Amino acid sequence: MREPKFFRRFDYNRDRLPNSFLASMDRVETIDEARNCSGLSIGYPGWALLYYLVLSTIDPEQETLVIETGTNFGASTIVLAQALSDSGAHGHVHTIEIDEQTHEKAKSQFAQSGVGDRITAHLGDAKAALPSVLDSIPQVDVAFLDGCHLLDDVVAEFRAVRAKLTPKSLVIFDNTYLIAEPHEDQRVHGALGAIVDEFGGNVVNFPSVSWYTPGMAIWQSQPFDMWPPPIRKSQL
């Protein structure tokens, strides 16, 4: 692996965070302190990016449904739910965590967050749990895929949610920095290339957020109804 980069910030005004409970969780000064309070979350300014991406996507006249993999301690889940709440629209977040102890920790955080009624926490491996979770909802408007970061797992999660996406749905990825050497698993960075090759669509990368591994990206199939769908390489 290449040398890690860190873009999580600690020298910022916590009033910038959209949720007051999350702000209290992040009154820390180091990565090690942050791990104990908010877990392996993206941190600031990634939380703000995630919040505004979702808030700016929501149609207030329709229900917005969000899927997250990799709940961890639930910090990013709270951000997603806060965006739904602040939009004034109907909506709900379904989040999936593989580790039982971490899952219980997240549920405790949700109960204190003020937006816990917007969140349903599921325990299990995302690849196995996604089909049943997706069966219970009509569509996915936003997906935040932040579970296992191995290439095949990222692509598998994307394939699972793909059938429930609308052309305007957003799929958000964390840890997009090219940290792998050529002989290693190419992780999220490589998965994004594989997804675009198979499904087309548009990717925008935000390299200077998050930490080990930094970078966040959004994928969208077709932002405007009048645009034709992208041509896949398999169709050429």
What global pTM score does this model have? 0.94
- What is the model's pLDDT at position 26? 97
19: helix, strand or coil: coil
Helix (H) or strand (E) holding 126: helix 126-135
**Among the listed residues 209, 198, 170, the one whose alpha carbon sits nearest the alpha carbon of residue 47:** 209
Say what the pLDDT of residue 222 is.
86
State which amino acid sits at residue 35.
R
Q: Which domains does the chain have, with CATH numbers?
A: 14-235 (3.40.50.150)
The reported pLDDT for the residue numbered 202 is 93
What is the reported pLDDT for 221? 94
For residue 224, the model assigns a pLDDT of 80
Q: The tokens 């936003």 sit on which residue?
A: 142
Residue in 145, 211, 140, 133 with CA at minimum distance from that of residue 172: 145
Q: How far apart are CA 57 and CA 227, in angstroms?
A: 18
Q: What pLDDT was estimated at residue 4?
A: 82
Q: pLDDT truncated to tens, each residue of the chain (236 aa)?
A: 998 889 999 999 999 999 999 999 999 999 999 999 999 999 999 999 999 999 999 998 999 999 999 999 999 999 999 999 999 999 999 999 999 999 999 999 999 999 999 999 999 999 999 999 999 999 999 999 999 999 999 999 999 999 999 999 999 999 999 999 999 999 999 999 999 999 999 999 999 999 989 999 999 998 887 556 556 555 55
* Alpha-carbon span 141 to 157, nearest angstrom: 15
What pLDDT is attached to residue 229?
A: 59
